[in-house]
Structure 1
Amino acid sequence: MNSTPEFIIEPCKKEHIKKIVDGINSYNLSKVPPLSDIWTPLEFVIKNTNGEEIGGLLSGIGYWNGLEIKILWVAENYRNQGIGSKLLQHVENIAKEKGAEIAMLDTFDFQAEGFYLKNGYTVIGEIENFPKGHKRIYLSKKLT
């Protein structure tokens, strides 16, 4: 008598994603009630006077009013001119108006650790040697 259930693991298709997301959200919200009903995207692009996209920020506010910064990018020839800081401050201000109390993100040592430190973020964790010879850095900032 075989009491071990059999399982099949297969590649996830687009139609499976909603069930997975809904499943984890349902579990999480059964443990900690939401402060917000949905993910609120805060996504912006910045353009030069010619209308060319020279940077952008992809982020959003989640169930518990945390600003999650996913990507901040500025074109190389526009870096070190305050553009990234303007984008970051713009998003943080909107997030605060919407009730966010904390911002969080991750970066790599070859990306923007110094930039985020300069903008008031604090390192809260690191993964050494990822990718090999580098580190992944997790940062946060109180927005209140």
Structure 2
Amino acid sequence: MEHVPVDVEARQIVRWLLAEQRTKTFDLLLNVTRSFEPTELSAAEEGQMGDEERQELSEINEVGLLEVMPRKEPSRWILRIRVIDDIGPRMPDDEPVPTEDEEIDLETFNEEFIVADRGYVEVSAEAQDRAADGELGRLIEAIVTNSHKPNN
């Protein structure tokens, strides 16, 4: 798979996908999940704590992931939005965070990650070959122009 540059805001992509779910012009497959990742405390946070606190605490990121693929051949190309939100430190006796990815719908992803405007947002894409790159380019053009007409 080759990396394809995407210069479109996540908000615009999600807004277009929400409208696309109603029109169903493009035959797209969406995979939308939320997960939690433990990370290390920042140096600034560690400097403000004692040794015992530092050993007990961990930082948690909430990660929203939206993957858009062609339904008929999902491995041809993928358009991905990944949002990483630092939700803060956790103590060992805090309620455990889920270890498995949780499937969510596009509306939930939009409300919790895009509209809420939280965290670091990364938009990326990959295509299997030049033909797939062309298909992906047509989808991105439809998103940019807010069109729901396939231009095959």
The question of a shared fold, defined as TM-score above 0.5 by the shorter chain, is answered with no
Q: Larger RCO: Structure 1 or Structure 2 (Cα < 8 Å, ≥ 6 residues apart)?
A: 2
TM-score, scaled relative to structure 1: 0.29
By percentage of residues, which structure has more helix? 2
